[in-house]
Amino acid sequence: MSPRLADLRGDVRAFAAASLKELRILRRYPGTILSFVFWPIALPLAFVFQAQAFSGGRADTAAAFAERTGTHDVAGFLFVGWATYMWLSLILWGPGTSLRTEQVRGSLEAIFLTPASRLVVLFGPAISQLIWAIWIFVVVGIALWVGFGVAIGPVEALRALGVILVGVPALYAIGALFAAVVLRFGQVNALVQGVRGLFTAVCGMSFPILVLPDWAQVVALSLPPTYLIADLREVLLIGTGIGRIVGDLVVLAGMGLVLGILAVVAFRRTEQYARRGGRLAQY
Amino acid sequence: MGTYAIEASGLTKDFEKGRRTIWQRLRGEADRRETFRAVDGVDLQVREGEVFGILGPNGAGKTTTMRMLATLLEPTSGTATVLGHDLVTESRAIRRRLGAVLSGERSVYWKLTARENLEYFAALYHVPPQQTRERIVEILEAVHLTDRADDYVEKFSTGMRQRLVLARALLPAPSLLLLDEPTVGLDPQAARDLRERVLQLRDEGRTVLLTTHYMEEADQLCDRIAIVDHGQIVALDTPDGLKRSLRATEVVRIEISAPDAAEARLVRRFDGRGTITRQERVDGALHLTVHCSSARDLVPLVIDAARLEDGEVRNIQVQPISLEDVFISLTGRALRE
């Protein structure tokens, strides 16, 4: 076996081990998992009540909502939007926080002392982010079914899983870009807060982007969460098949590829910078 | 002469002092930060199979040298080969055969068991899966952690975690081990265990490069020692060779109460029987440190000199020459200053 192929096989195993490590650690914090039963229900519920208050329960306002969103299901619309927001928040914080924790603990240097590819440390925790996504959407699905009688069938759930899988690379790549910032500047909080604010403002967590000004819609359409939220609503609430949103999914996958390459390049450059300045273990 | 595990030539590392703000960068202002030379043209040859020590005070450049040799830090200038590979262009090849304990005992995952920690790092070290289980069992046995292998690391003592960090470094079956201050923070028993393990590693044929500021540790473990100060190697030899370089076998520390005016005459009475490396007044008493070849000959002369100059010997201590004395004679200051 050529050394290059041996390295590749080794890196695949290292990636699997990094994912397993993340899942093991996640399993040992059951309190965190339980907290994500409460928030995916409480946060959108507040917006559902707000919507009810604004609409006054009138037929014309409900029709206006349906015209703009394609569904009469206000609760479903808000629950899916905010569930995506919560998952997105976890992803934005995830890789950067994980890298920062490794840096402060000293294990980042220990990882960099191994022959494993640097991308293992960058993308290894991605699998646990997928678990979080599934967990949040399961909680939301149950809440919609029990609280509002919105039943999501297995076919819709499978389609949603497909959308999530296509969306993971793009969202995770954004998180990985933040991880590169962590290695460069040591902290990422302000940037993450800013980007999260931008996503909340324009990506349509609690409203259809049609209500935005034209320029803001252009911004929204350049951001991956917009496609993810819209497509999840399509498959979960309207029953649209994957075939009809394939264009969106291609765009989402393309964004994932571009952002992924950007993240890898940024991470390599910041690693080089850290290696020159001795910042791998600095905090 | 055997081959070398490490060959470094003119290895130098500069760091910039202070920060350059984003505003300064955006404005394109010139970088006016001062540089600090942490390692200054180090030439080093570490033979295969030896325990080589880098001894020096805090801030002498030991850790920076280690981090460069571990491929974690890019040298500013100079060249080095580690295990036959170029430090800069073949770093991944070096890391395949290198074990290192550079970070502290906190650098393991506390919410994983010792075995799970090692499983994770075994994968990162590309240990073949069919060998992983057996190798972990052997290594846990070697660092005496077998009976705690499946406990969470958060329940470990500092010494146990340090042994786990050493176990992690042994995962790639390394030809070369870099140990940076491996016994700092350990209790005496744990430190003794670790030193024994280092000697076992040498017996297994591995090369060990360690840094320490404990002279006894360097004396006990190392086949050769480089004494570093201000980023430079100021002496390099075997522990005995370094001590012999002082041309003395014993160090005599003397405290004498004597009038200030008599000090010069008093010292002249036994000058020539040794080398005075320290002469200062503390609370009115004269404190002297003298390197000599025979304390048996020197001490009576000191007592006589004190008596003749109306003084009194308060205290005399005689000890064999140590690496600390070598360091003081080379740098003019103590290791722990």
Count Cβ atoms below 10 Å from residue A244 Cβ, excluding itself. Answer: 12
Interface touch A278/B73, C-beta < 8 Å = yes
The model's pTM is 0.82
Residue of A nearest to B94 (CA): A115
B window 122-161, beta carbon within 8 A of A: 122-126, 129, 152
Whether B88 has its CB under 8 Å from any CB of chain A: the answer is no
Interval A134-163: pLDDT, tens: 888 888 889 888 988 888 889 999 999 999
Residue of B nearest to A13 (CA): B123
Share above pLDDT 70 across residues of chain B, in percent, rounded to a whole number: 98
Residue B93: list chain A partners with CB under 8 A.
115
- Lookup: tokens for B110: 């506390």
Average pLDDT over chain A reads 87
Q: Is B270 helix (H, G, I), strand (E, B) or coil?
A: coil
Residues B254 and B263: beta-carbon distance below 8 Å: no
Per the model's pLDDT, the better-predicted residue between A129 and B163 turns out to be: B163
Interface touch A113/B104, C-beta < 8 Å = no
pLDDT range class, residue B80, cuts 50, 70, 90: very high
Q: How far apart are CA A188 and CA A180, in angstroms?
A: 9
Whether A17 has its CB under 8 Å from any CB of chain B: the answer is yes
Q: How far apart are CA B64 and CA B75, in angstroms?
A: 9
Residues A99 and A188: beta-carbon distance below 8 Å: no
Per the model's pLDDT, the better-predicted residue between B274 and B113 turns out to be: B113
Residue of B nearest to A105 (CA): B107
Average pLDDT over chain B reads 90
pLDDT of B52 higher than 70: yes
- Residue matched to tokens 């994770």: B120
Q: How far apart are CA B55 and CA B48, in angstroms?
A: 19
Interval A31-75: pLDDT, tens: 877 777 888 888 888 999 998 888 887 888 889 899 888 888 999
Interface touch B109/A107, C-beta < 8 Å = yes
A window 245-274, beta carbon within 8 A of B: 272
Chain A: closest CA distance from residue B210 (Å): 16
Chain A: closest CA distance from residue B101 (Å): 8
Find the Cα–Cα–Cα–Cα dihedral B225, B230, B234, B235, rounded to 10°: -10
Point out the residue among B72, B95, B119 whose CB comes nearest to the CB of A17.
Answer: B119
First to last CA, chain A: 40
Nearest 5°: CA angle at A150, between A144 and A152? 90
Question: Residue B24: what pLDDT?
Answer: 78
Residue B16: list chain A partners with CB under 8 A.
277
Chain A: closest CA distance from residue B250 (Å): 42
Residues B177 and B201: beta-carbon distance below 8 Å: yes
Whether A276 has its CB under 8 Å from any CB of chain B: the answer is yes
Residues A84 and A227: beta-carbon distance below 8 Å: no
Find the Cα–Cα–Cα–Cα dihedral B200, B204, B209, B212, rounded to 10°: 0
CA distances (Å), A202 to each of A205, A206, B28, B44, B219, in order? 8, 10, 34, 59, 67
Task: Determine the residue among A1, A8, A114 to mutate to test chain B binding: the one whose Cβ has the most chain B Cβ atoms within 10 Å.
Answer: A114
Amino acid making up residue B29: E
Residues B225 and B53: beta-carbon distance below 8 Å: yes
Bridge partners (DSSP) of residue B152 are B113
Please report, for chain B, the start and end positions of each structural domain, with discontinuous segments joined by +. Answer: 247-320
E-state strands within A51-123: none
Interface touch B15/A113, C-beta < 8 Å = no
Helix axes A3-27, A126-148, angle to 10 degrees: 40
Q: How far apart are CA A226 and CA A242, in angstroms?
A: 17
Q: Is A230 helix (H, G, I), strand (E, B) or coil?
A: helix
Q: How far apart are CA B52 and CA B33, in angstroms?
A: 35
pLDDT of B200 higher than 80: yes
Task: Determine the residue among A113, A184, A275, A280 to mutate to test chain B binding: the one whose Cβ has the most chain B Cβ atoms within 10 Å.
Answer: A113
Residue A28: list chain B partners with CB under 8 A.
111, 152
- Lookup: tokens for A198: 């931008």
Q: Is B35 helix (H, G, I), strand (E, B) or coil?
A: strand
pLDDT of B2 higher than 60: no
Whether A134 has its CB under 8 Å from any CB of chain B: the answer is no
Question: Residue B48: what pLDDT?
Answer: 95
pLDDT of A177 higher than 80: yes
What does the pLDDT average to over B251-260? 91
Q: How far apart are CA B122 and CA A115, in angstroms?
A: 11
CATH of domain B247-320: 3.30.70.1710
pLDDT range class, residue B1, cuts 50, 70, 90: very low
CA distances (Å), A280 to each of A59, A112, A184, A274, in order? 60, 9, 9, 6
Residues B67 and B75: beta-carbon distance below 8 Å: no
Q: How far apart are CA A19 and CA A126, in angstroms?
A: 7
What does the pLDDT average to over B129-148? 94
Interface touch A21/B104, C-beta < 8 Å = no
Interface touch B73/A275, C-beta < 8 Å = yes
Residue of B nearest to A274 (CA): B73
Whether A30 has its CB under 8 Å from any CB of chain B: the answer is no
DSSP class of residue B154 equals: G
Nearest 5°: CA angle at B145, between B193 and B67? 65
Residues A179 and A270: beta-carbon distance below 8 Å: no
Residues A178 and A96: beta-carbon distance below 8 Å: yes
Interval B203-255: pLDDT, tens: 999 999 999 888 888 999 999 999 999 999 999 999 999 988 888 889 999 99
Residues B161 and B205: beta-carbon distance below 8 Å: no
Q: How far apart are CA B149 and CA A116, in angstroms?
A: 24
Point out the residue among B15, B104, B112 whose CB comes nearest to the CB of A21.
Answer: B112
Question: Residue B153: what pLDDT?
Answer: 95
- Lookup: tokens for A215: 């320029």
Interval A217-269: pLDDT, tens: 999 999 999 999 999 999 999 989 999 999 999 999 999 999 999 998 998 88
Q: How far apart are CA B219 and CA B237, in angstroms?
A: 11
Nearest 5°: CA angle at B70, between B113 and B141? 35
Chain A: closest CA distance from residue B189 (Å): 25
Please report, for chain A, the start and end positions of each structural domain, with discontinuous segments joined by +. Answer: 3-277
Interface touch A107/B103, C-beta < 8 Å = yes
Q: In chain B, where does DSSP find H-type helix?
A: 22-26, 62-69, 91-96, 114-124, 129-142, 158-170, 188-203, 215-221, 239-244, 263-268, 295-308, 323-331
- Lookup: tokens for A256: 């994932």
pLDDT range class, residue B315, cuts 50, 70, 90: very high
pLDDT of B291 higher than 50: yes
Q: How many CA atoms lie within 13 A of A30 on its CB side?
A: 0
Interface touch A20/B107, C-beta < 8 Å = no
Q: Strands B250-257 and B312-320: what pairing?
A: antiparallel
CA distances (Å), B208 to each of A111, A206, A252, B5, B104, in order? 20, 61, 51, 9, 18
Amino acid making up residue B210: L
Per the model's pLDDT, the better-predicted residue between B185 and A249 turns out to be: A249
Closest C-alpha to B8, from B74, B76, B65, B90: B65
Residue A283: list chain B partners with CB under 8 A.
none
Sign of CA dihedral B210, B213, B214, B220: positive
Bridge partners (DSSP) of residue B236 are B226
Chain A: closest CA distance from residue B258 (Å): 52
Task: Determine the residue among B19, B97, B124, B152 to mutate to test chain A binding: the one whose Cβ has the most chain A Cβ atoms within 10 Å.
Answer: B124
Radius of gyration of chain B (CA): 25
Whether A191 has its CB under 8 Å from any CB of chain B: the answer is no
- Residue matched to tokens 């304990």: B101
pLDDT of A115 higher than 90: yes
Residue of B nearest to A121 (CA): B124
Residues B112 and A25: beta-carbon distance below 8 Å: yes
DSSP class of residue A72 equals: S
Q: How far apart are CA B170 and CA B181, in angstroms?
A: 17
Point out the residue among B74, B93, B108 whose CB comes nearest to the CB of A276.
Answer: B74
